[in-house]
A and B are shown apart, each in its own frame.
Chain A
Amino acid sequence: MLIHLKVFRFDPQTEKAPHYDNFELQAEPTDRVLDLLEKVRNEHDASLGLRRSCAHGVCGSDAMRINGKNALACKKLVRDLNSDHITIEPLLGLKVIRDLIVDMKPFFEHYESLLPYLINEEPLPTDGKERIQTEEQVLRYEDTTKCILCAACTTSCPSFWADGKYIGPAAIVNAHRFVFDSRDRAAAKRLKILNQQFGVWRCRTAFNCTEACPREIKITQAIAEVKRAITTGKLD
């Protein structure tokens, strides 16, 4: 089928403002949007800037706006879009560096601000083996371990657009992953940070994040659990 592809372009070295380029491509309904972009690069314009690596939705490189909605280009197929007109734009709320490539630094800073690592200074089991954790305890936080830090959620969030100082859903998801891990000992510390001005209370439950997540993490639920833990002081 013939696809009309409209792509956001911006080269800071030569342009003051962005523009759009249009390409007409032959595609299969089962082609990934990433395949189309690669086709553009291979056959039309090799200078198109984008990040990609795994090409099957696990590395988090190629989150972008596809027909107005955040998604991974490698996980959206042409047939999923129900349209032969496809518009590709960079994520919102992060500075565009070139074409579809945005500045991820603020995103990673928010992520790091919530101590995204296991903190437990207690002695390890004396036999040197694993700490015991039941399958039930794993299930308590398993969903949020799936995050690939693609930023699709955070950059779909109206609160984040309104103020980039808001830590955003991805950072909260990763805090959740440790707050509810029975092996971790720093939940209070993280909840304190989450309780601050640009923390979890900026979330207005717009649900955009949950819709945008390519890993189908129940983000709104995770955020609600974190809010509840702050208010009740309990982790169950």
Chain B
Amino acid sequence: MSNIHEFDVVVVGGGGAGLMAAWYASKSVRTAVISKLYPIRSHTGAAQGGIGAALGNYEEDHPEWHTFDTIKGSDYLGDQDAISFMCEEAVQAVYDLEHMGLPFNRTPEGRIAQRPFGGHTNNASGKPVRRSCYAADRTGHMILQTLYQQCIKNKNIFFDEYQVMDLLIVDGAVAGVVAVEMATGELHTFRSKAVIFATGGHGRIWEITSNAYAYTGDGPAILARRGIPMEDMEFFQFHPTGIYKLGILITEAVRGEGGILFNNKGERFMEKYAPRIKDLASRDVVSRAMYLETRAGNDVNGQRFFNLDVRPETVNKYAEIDGRTRPDGSAYQVTAAEIMSKIPDIADFCLTYLGVDPTKQPIPVQPTAHYAMGGIPTNKYGQVVIDEKNTVLPGLYAAGECACVSVHGANRLGTNSLVDLVVFGKHAGINAAEFAKGADLKPLPEDPTGEVMRQIEALHAGSGKERAAALGKEMRVEMFDHVGVFRTDEGLQHAVAKVQELRERFKQVRVADSGKVFNMEMLQTWELGNMLDLALVTAQSALARTESRGAHARDDFPQRDDATWLKHTLAWLDGEQVRLGYKPVVVTQYQPKERTY
């Protein structure tokens, strides 16, 4: 019981959302950031393409247009009050980042440069609009660095390489968290008036993924085991352009800069599926198109991939066909050097991992698991809400990819996650600090670290008949095959049964390493348990939803069904079972319409 710390606000996670929250909270109360990775290793650093905000630095744009595009992109499952709040706030948030020192690319006038991105349009013409503010193709890297730098300036308190394993709730309110210090194996109890979860996503559940090893859904899984429901978990985004087999992301910015997708016949197949904005349709639409093309035998070499072509001759040919112009009205024509300067990191990935120079050869791509729209239910103040009536759990907050506000609904638009992080990270931080000022520390439960010790002991006590690595692989393959881009009743039934079986077999896993110092075997086996929990919740939520909406595409229910399904799923993990409930979507001024691009 020696390691007990006391804070007003504890932030779990040092990525974009967590640092933003900590930066704001620490202005007024004692705040700590606990992170299993060094903050600058967080996955926010992998974000490439940009952050959306209607600055209008090249052409007419409005937060209302951003709002509508986001609602439409969400397939009307996003909560419209929260979306409109986010898109209004996005503008100031981007200026704030610039003031903090973020090195954005610039317009000829020295303002923040912007590029087109999937699903972002001029609402009057329906044509793509330049809304994504960017720093080459490492916008996330620059956001993460900038926020971390500001936290150093601010002398923020960090507990680096501490992994949070449990949330303490006393009398229906937050009392703190329990974490293991990775370098020593010691457990630490952090008493806190408010806790903000900002632990990122869980895309490691799927076989082909753009996500980091650390994306194991710890935050949502911890909360699910503490009786908090998960919202809309069936909505997980598959990004259409992952590097073949590896899943490494090729940002949409490549298409924003003029790249075109082709099938094995050399057809620009997106013309068929999104006649107006074609290759820049939103991600669910493009991923589904690829699936349908594959089913029709149009994938390249029958190997389930397509060619993403950003060679200057291709870009220029199609720019002419599409009548694309530059901001000054001249025809859009590019050189290889210009392409390289806009996507240097992508070019580097292609060269390193494929031996392909993207200005000379097409890039082989396939859909890759990318982003969790679902997660911990929150309202637009960042407070975690725990039932159909949106009852707040006092002191508990969440922000970033682990949270579900919901601003992304059934499908997130590119650039909107970074907006989500900075806007809701900031407000979760401010609101948690306000809450903490009026609250007392809760008494600790009798044995605060008891649950974590029990979990760790269980990991060491299995029979050893099963191996974690093998179970993980089976889970990832099952989820990719049956809870992926397209789903059927049969496949989902299969997945639920399979994940249940894997959870059972997981009890037979034994962690052999009994050491204390960086026991990665123990921590990563624990993470596998988290993923299995979330995989079950995801598959069950998907099985129940008998419609197609955004990223949740059912072969057997191809239509969106607003009469029955215009509602958010809430899924409680009750031991071996998942219990489902639903809550309404907030619709303000935009009535659901058919979604075409």
- Residues of B with C-beta under 8 A to A83: none
Bound CA–CA A115/B149 (angstroms):
9
Report the bound CA distance from A49 to B517 in whole Å. 9
The complex places the Cα of A55 from the Cα of B209 at a distance, in Å, of 11
Tell me how far the C-beta of B471 lies from the nearest C-beta in chain A, rounded to whole angstroms.
11
The answer to whether A55 and B213 touch across the interface, beta carbons within 8 angstroms, is: yes
Known A129-B95, A131-B98: A58·B46 in contact at CB below 8 Å: yes
Q: How large is the interface on B (under 10, 10 to 19, 20 to 34, 35 or more residues)?
A: 35 or more
Is chain A's binding surface mostly helix, strand, loop or mixed?
A: loop
Contact in complex: B142, A145 (CB < 8 Å): yes
Task: Mark contacts of B209-222 with chain A using CB atoms, 8 A cut-off: 1 yes-contact digit, 0 otherwise.
Answer: 00011100000000
A98 to B41, alpha carbons, bound, how many Å? 19
Q: Which residues of A contact B109 (CB under 8 A)?
A: 132
Give A24 to B336 CA distance when docked, in angstroms: 43
Which of B508-516, B539-547, B564-572 touches A? Answer: B508-516
A82 interfacial by beta-carbon distance below 8 Å:
no
Q: How many A-B residue pairs have CB under 8 A?
A: 153
Query: B331 to chain A: which residues have CB within 8 Å?
Result: none
Most interface-central of B108, B142, B214 (chain A CB within 10 A): B214
Alpha-carbon distance between A32 and B349 when the two chains are bound, in angstroms: 12
Residues 339-382 (chain B) with a chain A CB within 8 angstroms: 345, 348-349, 352-353
Across the interface, B141 reaches (CB within 8 A) one of A43, A48, A148, namely A148
The one of A30, A132, A142, A178 in contact with B111, judged by C-beta atoms closer than 8 angstroms, is: A132
Binary flags per residue of B82-112, CB closer than 8 Å to A gives 1, else 0: 0000000000101100111101111111111
User: Known contacts A130-B95, A183-B101; is A11 also within 8 Å of B517 by CB?
Assistant: yes
Q: Verify if A149 is at the interface (C-beta below 8 Å from B).
A: yes
Of A61, A97, A128, the residue contacting B518 (CB under 8 A) is A97
Q: In the complex, A117→B112 CA distance in Å?
A: 20
Whether A49 contacts B141 by the Cβ 8 Å rule is no
Find out whether the CB atom of A134 lies under 8 angstroms from the CB atom of B106. Answer: yes
Q: Is A135 an interface residue (CB 8 A)?
A: yes
The reply to whether B213 and A60 contact each other, CB–CB distance below 8 Å, is no
Are A43 and B43 in contact, with the CB atoms below 8 A?
no
| B286 to A: closest C-beta gap in Å | 21
Task: State the Cβ distance, A150 to closest chain B Cβ, in Å.
Answer: 9
Judging by beta carbons under 8 Å apart, are B149 and A118 in contact? yes
Q: Which residues of A contact B135 (CB under 8 A)?
A: 145
> What residues of chain A lie closer than 8 Å to B101, measured between beta carbons?
117-118, 178, 181, 183-184
B165-177 vs A, CB cutoff 8 Å, 1 = contact: the mask equals 0000000000000
- CB atoms of B105 and A104 under 8 A apart: no
B439 within 8 A of A: no
Per the 8 Å Cβ criterion, residues 58-92 of A in contact with B are 58-61, 75, 77
Question: Which chain A residue shows the least CB distance to B36?
Answer: A53
Q: Is the CB of A135 within 8 A of B108?
A: yes
A51 CB contacts on chain B under 8 angstroms: 41
Residue of B nearest to A75 (CB): B352
B45 within 8 A of A: yes
Q: When chains A and B are docked, how far (Å) is the Cα of A77 from the Cα of B248? A: 15
The answer to whether A61 and B352 have CB atoms under 8 Å apart is no
B336 to chain A, nearest CB (A): 18
Roughly how many angstroms separate A115 CA and B155 CA in the complex, as a whole number?
11
What A residues does B43 contact at CB under 8 A? 53-54, 59
Map CB proximity to B onto A131-154 as digits: 1 under 8 Å, 0 otherwise.
111110110011001101100000
- Asked if A57 is at the interface (CB within 8 A of a chain B CB), the reply is yes
B-chain residues with CB within 8 Å of residue A48 when the two chains form the complex: 520
In whole Å, how far is A177's beta carbon from the nearest beta carbon of chain B?
A: 8
A233 located at the interface, meaning its Cβ lies under 8 Å from any Cβ of chain B in the complex: no
User: A106 an interface residue at 8 Å Cβ cutoff?
Assistant: no
Contact (A181, B517) CB under 8 Å given A56-B349, A61-B37, A117-B150: no
Q: Which residues of B contact A163 (CB under 8 A)?
A: none
A:27-64 near B, CB below 8 Å: 30, 32, 41-43, 46-61
B112 nearest in chain A by CB position: A130
Q: Is the CB of B518 within 8 A of A43?
A: no
B453 at the interface (CB under 8 A from A): no
Subset of 11 A-B contacts with CB under 8 Å: A13-B517, A47-B521, A50-B520, A53-B37, A53-B41, A57-B348, A57-B352, A118-B150, A129-B111, A130-B99, A178-B101
Which A residues form the contact surface with B (CB < 8 A)?
11-14, 30, 32, 41-43, 46-61, 75, 77, 97-99, 101, 104, 108, 112, 115-119, 124, 128-135, 137-138, 141-142, 145-146, 148-149, 178, 181, 183-184, 216
Chain B residues near A (Cβ < 8 Å): 37-38, 40-43, 45-46, 55, 92, 94-95, 98-101, 103-113, 135-136, 138, 141-142, 145-146, 149-150, 152-153, 183, 212-214, 246, 248, 345, 348-349, 352-353, 468-469, 511-513, 515-521
